[in-house]
């Protein structure tokens, strides 16, 4: 096994835990609407242009970081649901949540603004998202994942499919 294949195997390998499957689906399905707001303007969102403008002009984030946030919450969420690139997608969500906590929500406190009495939203939602994402980074995608299927193919010697010119 080459170093490249070994790294890919470590990135994609997972046990077949149904608990990880549930966590992965919950995280992907919860995050996707937020990503769809930012990318597509669905669910009352501003779409790609509006979100990029907000992140770059109002929040003064670099455009590359704004793009990564939108990608993590939209494409990453789809990857989570499919179990494709799970560790990378979950790591992206972790980065987004930590960034949101420390730039926007920590000064408000723990609780979300259930009764409209606070100046913003607290960070309790973000902690729940982190609790779902961290095990996916550590243990992988779980049952019924594309990551697991590709890792199985790699271990079975199907690597030439990924690199057709190699024997």
Instruction: Write out the residue range of the structural domain in which residue 103 sits.
Output: 3-157
Look at 90 and 122; give whichever has higher pLDDT: 90
Asked whether residue 167 is domain-assigned, the answer is: no
Asked whether residue 162 is domain-assigned, the answer is: no
In the predicted model, what is the mean pLDDT of residues 139-144?
96
Q: What is the rounded distance in angstroms from the CA atom of residue 144 to the CA atom of residue 146? A: 7
Per the structure block, which two tokens stand in for 39? 């990318």
Asked whether residue 74 is domain-assigned, the answer is: yes
Q: Answer for the pair 80, 96: CB distance below 8 angstroms, yes or no.
A: no
Asked whether residue 165 is domain-assigned, the answer is: no
Q: What is the rounded distance in angstroms from the CA atom of residue 87 to the CA atom of residue 104? A: 25
pTM equals 0.87
31-76 pLDDT, tens digit each: 999 999 999 999 999 999 999 999 999 999 999 999 999 999 999 9
Asked whether residue 80 is domain-assigned, the answer is: yes
The pLDDT of residue 163: 53
Q: What is the rounded distance in angstroms from the CA atom of residue 92 to the CA atom of residue 136? A: 11
Asked whether residue 164 is domain-assigned, the answer is: no
In this structure, what are the phi and psi dihedrals at residue 52, rounded to the nearest 5 degrees?
-60, -45
Q: What is the tally of structural domains in the chain?
A: 1
Asked whether residue 166 is domain-assigned, the answer is: no
Q: Answer for the pair 103, 70: CB distance below 8 angstroms, yes or no.
A: no
C-alpha distances in angstroms, 135 versus 57, 104, 120, 157?
A: 35, 25, 29, 28
Asked whether residue 125 is domain-assigned, the answer is: yes
């Amino acid at each position: 096994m080459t170093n490249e294949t070994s790294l890919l195997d470590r990135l994609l390998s997972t046990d077949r835990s149904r608990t990880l499957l549930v966590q992965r689906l919950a995280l992907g399905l919860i995050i996707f609407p937020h990503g769809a707001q930012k990318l597509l303007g669905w669910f009352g969102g501003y779409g790609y242009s509006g979100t990029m403008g907000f992140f770059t002009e109002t929040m003064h984030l670099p455009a590359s970081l704004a793009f990564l946030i939108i990608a993590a919450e939209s494409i990453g969420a789809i990857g989570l649901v499919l179990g494709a690139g799970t560790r990378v997608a979950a790591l992206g969500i972790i980065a987004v949540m930590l960034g949101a906590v420390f730039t926007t929500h920590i000064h408000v406190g723990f609780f979300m603004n259930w009764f409209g009495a606070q100046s913003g939203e607290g960070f309790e939602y973000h902690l729940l998202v982190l609790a779902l994402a961290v095990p996916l980074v550590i243990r992988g995608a779980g049952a019924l994942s594309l990551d697991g299927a590709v890792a199985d193919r790699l271990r079975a010697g199907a690597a030439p499919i990924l690199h057709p010119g190699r024997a």
